[in-house]
Structure 1
Amino acid sequence: MEGASVSGLFFVLKGKVKVFRTGISGKEQIVRFATKGEIIGHRGFGTEEFYSIGAIALEDTILCYFSKNNLQEALLNNPKFAYDFMLFYANELNRSESKVKSISQMTVRERVIDGLLYIHRKFGANKGFLDIALTRKEYADYAGTSEEQVIRVFSALKKENLISSKGKKIGIPDIQRLKNEISEHNFYLDS
């Protein structure tokens, strides 16, 4: 929970999780999504006393918890693990910096497309649709815009046959055509 005392971190063994931070006026900003094999709660690890983010399971999820003490002991006793963890944090920092760049330099349309491509890379597709059902508000919270803007962008993308939809499910009929819409922004950094 955002604001809770740091006690450790979690590895996602199964399921899908959204990681968020509460911003101005209580608005939720989705920082990233996590799935099998990924870590959540690591941003509070180290010198932090409180978690600066929160996480919510988007489907049935199984987590493996490591206490702060057990993790610190493992890092001190296993240099390879400590090195891999350092690389993980360096990659996380790179992704965060890329996200800030995209939010500041892309138009709303480009940010929404970037979000769709990120979700496609993260979760893949199943039967022609992204393998996660998100609300329009969740797409907006990830792209740093409003739900109304996402609805407008989705409507335009549907008219251009760049996406399809069925309820909450979004399909991307031609991934390359969608990538071409934002190719100048190097969206590949945020996998």
Structure 2
Amino acid sequence: MIQETRRTLASHTPVYFAGDRATDLVRVERGVVMVFNLFEDGRRQIVDFVTAGELLHFQFDGELDHYAEAITEVELVSAPSDAALSDPVWAEYIFQQMRGRLDRDRRHVTLLAQKSAAERLAEFLIIVSDRLSTPIGDIELPMTRQEIADYTGLTIETVSRLFSRWMRERRLVVTGKRTYRIEGALAA
């Protein structure tokens, strides 16, 4: 039996920093965590949003090369990397998580490299709806517009302009504080 450690963090609390030692694997039990890199000039590139049931990273030793911060209140479960790798159940889970992360990374690279601003933001909304298990067309966005911009490679002004246009055109309808419903084609 693997010794797991549970902890709860408030929203906007760092989970770990680049340079911290990678000794444990960390699974998100509840909430959303953003994984990102910082450039020397202060810019941030969000590389993933990690949701319930997913691992934050796959580094088993050495130093972490990225940052992680809770976007919402999160519950995290940590397990020692060496013990997890030798446990058949954890090993299978790690393998499944790696496959899922590779798929998400491919989608993210395509989003950044080949799509227009409207297509990037529309794809992001579909990804979030799918990842947070909301009904198709309904989206709960725990992240800010700046965080969305940092994930999609757009400016906050472009994200805000597209949101405003889509709401004005009734393609995107506000249904709550951070919830929306897609009513029409967004990337058109």
Could you tell me the TM-score, scaled by structure 2's length? Answer: 0.77
1:21 matched to 2:37: yes
SS of the equivalent of 1:18 reads strand
How many residues align? The count is 171
Q: Which runs of 4+ in 1 moved over 3 A?
A: 165-168
Per-residue deviation, residues 110-135 of structure 1 (Å, max 9, x unmatched): 11111111122222559x96333322
Pairing 1:97–2:111 present:
no
Match of 2:130 in 1: 121
Query: Once the two structures are superposed, what CA deviation does each residue of 1:40-91 show, in whole Å capped at 9, x if it has no partner?
Result: 1x23x135x22122111122211111123xxx2342352x543442242133
For 1:109, the equivalent position in structure 2 comes to 118
The TM-score with structure 1 as length reference comes to: 0.76
Q: Percent identity?
A: 26
Q: Partners in 2 of 1:94 and 1:46 — Cα distance?
A: 21
How far the C-alpha of 1:105 sits from its partner, in A, is 0.3
Pairs within 5 Å for 1:123-142:
123-125=132-134, 130-142=139-151
Counterparts of residues 31-180 of structure 1 (less than 5 Å): 31-40=47-56, 42-43=57-58, 45-46=59-60, 49-68=62-81, 72-78=82-88, 81-125=90-134, 130-165=139-174, 169-174=178-183, 177-178=184-185
1:139-165 per-residue CA deviation (whole Å, 9 max, x = no partner) reads 101111110111111122122211134
2:33/2:71 contact within 8 Å kept? yes
Q: Which runs of 5+ in 2 are unaligned?
A: 1-16
Cα distance in 2 for residues equivalent to 1:92 and 1:133: 20
Distance 1:76 1:133 in 2: 35
More helix by share: 1
1:24, distance to aligned residue in structure 2 (A): 5.5
- What's the offset of the Cα at 1:31? 1.6
Do 2:111 and 2:152's aligned partners in 1 also have CA atoms closer than 8 Å?
no
